[in-house]
Amino acid sequence: MKTLDEVQLTGKRVFLRVDYNVPLDKQHQVTDDLRIRATLPSIRKIIDTGGKIILASHLGRPKGKVVGDCSLRPVGEYLSKLLGQPVLMASDCIGDAVCKQVSEMKSGEVLLLENLRFHSGEEKDDPEFSRQLGELADVYVNDAFAVSHRAHASVHGIIHYVKVCAAGYQLEKEITFFRKAMEDPKRPLAMVIGGAKISTKIDLLENLIPRVDLMVIGGAMANTFLKAQGKGVGKSLVEDDHLQTAASLLEKATQRGVKVLLPVDAVVSPSLEDTADVQEVSVDKVPPNTQILDVGSKTIELFEANLKNCPTIVWNGPLGAFEYPPFHKGTFALAEFLGNLKALTVVGGGDSAAAVKQAGVADKVSYVSTGGGAFLELLEGKTLPGIVALEECSMRS
């Protein structure tokens, strides 16, 4: 696929698909600007080369209806402060008024379209809606990795109506780091997998076993593996209908020569709310009236002792209920360890990204992906409609 540096931008109407689906507080103020800041290099490149930027994004889940709380206007106001220049706001994302506003734009100006999902055609990848978006542009640029696993009109359908398409700097960076880590890694390659449920990551685990050298498993999903090994896990979250799946995955890993590490101790408590009776116990001695809510100190030592020899590490999913202190220690310890490690460390997934940020090491790991679902689908070995669309457009032109 073509990159932003390979297309002519001067004087062109550049439709820049971004992901500004950012959290807002009750006063409609942006509370986390990671995804906005990630697009600034592409925006500034287009401004500096004299392009006219038409920004497009969704926000929330308005389900094809105009919902005031899902307006992108507060995001436009925030972006204007970051850029140090006005960001024009459209009242819609298609229609005569929008076409007129785009036609009156001058080089270097930035226009933010209203929420794409105010129209049902966006999520349906509707050809007519795609055509109307496409007629706004001379050049289409996708800088929204986080939605590139969706076959939506602004990500997929639009490429049939724009002659020139390219990847923005952020999307290019996402793909570059993924390929460095997963397609041509320095070995041994380690994968740290956490989160709540094994059922949501079966495809990921199946795809990774033939590709990695070390697999580190934590979070509540580790409980299912531990129970599959015959260990008692008390009242912990377990997917009993996937015990055989867990056993099968461990067997496949053994056959492939993949080293798998599971927790050897755990932080337990009767509940998330009960922090007065927190204990650290061996996974062989979990009290029946408690639940595992974090990995223990010996587990962290075990994980770190094995990970320190890996030049490539990919992390997806927390090791415990890190949103609820004191059950954050395992996840934060891993984040800090990776932040200080001289290795290629790629962190993907919303919770993992939040963890490295809260631990204060987001700028120390090699890369933090902006796309949870999209990153996960790449790990599962799936192709992303948004990436395929860019490749098709590049081949066509």
35 flagged as catalytic: yes
Report cis status (omega within 30 of 0) of the bond before 86: no
Contact 77, 99 (CB under 8 A): no
- Cβ count near 306 (within 10 Å): 15
Given the residues 252, 373, 381, 382, select the one marked as catalytic: 373
The alpha carbon of 47 is separated from its chain's Cα centroid by a whole number of angstroms, namely 27
Residue type, 156: H
| Spatial distance between the Cα atoms of 235 and 246, rounded to a whole number of angstroms | 19
373 flagged as catalytic: yes
Contact 168, 145 (CB under 8 A): no
Contact 6, 166 (CB under 8 A): yes
327's tokens: 């059950």
37's tokens: 């800041």
The alpha carbon of 194 is separated from its chain's Cα centroid by a whole number of angstroms, namely 15
- Cβ count near 175 (within 10 Å): 18
197 flagged as catalytic: yes
Handedness of CA 126, 129, 134, 137 (dihedral sign): negative
| Spatial distance between the Cα atoms of 182 and 378, rounded to a whole number of angstroms | 10
Residues 6+ apart with CB under 8 A from 26: none
95 flagged as catalytic: no
Given the residues 35, 52, 173, 201, select the one marked as catalytic: 35
The alpha carbon of 286 is separated from its chain's Cα centroid by a whole number of angstroms, namely 34
Q: Which residue has the tokens 């009767």?
A: 270
Given the residues 45, 197, 231, 364, select the one marked as catalytic: 197
Given the residues 64, 234, 350, 381, select the one marked as catalytic: 350
Distances (CA, A) of 80 to 137, 162, 283: 22, 27, 52
Taken as a whole, the chain contains a residue count of 397
Longest alpha-carbon distance in the chain: 71
Q: What angle do CA 154, 155, 161 make, to 5 degrees?
A: 65
Q: Which residues of 21-45 are buried (b: 16+ CB within 10 A; e: fewer)?
A: bbebeeeeebeebebbebbebbbeb
Ordered alpha helix ranges (H), 186-242? 202-208, 221-228
What amino acid positions are annotated as catalytic residues?
A: 35, 197, 350, 373
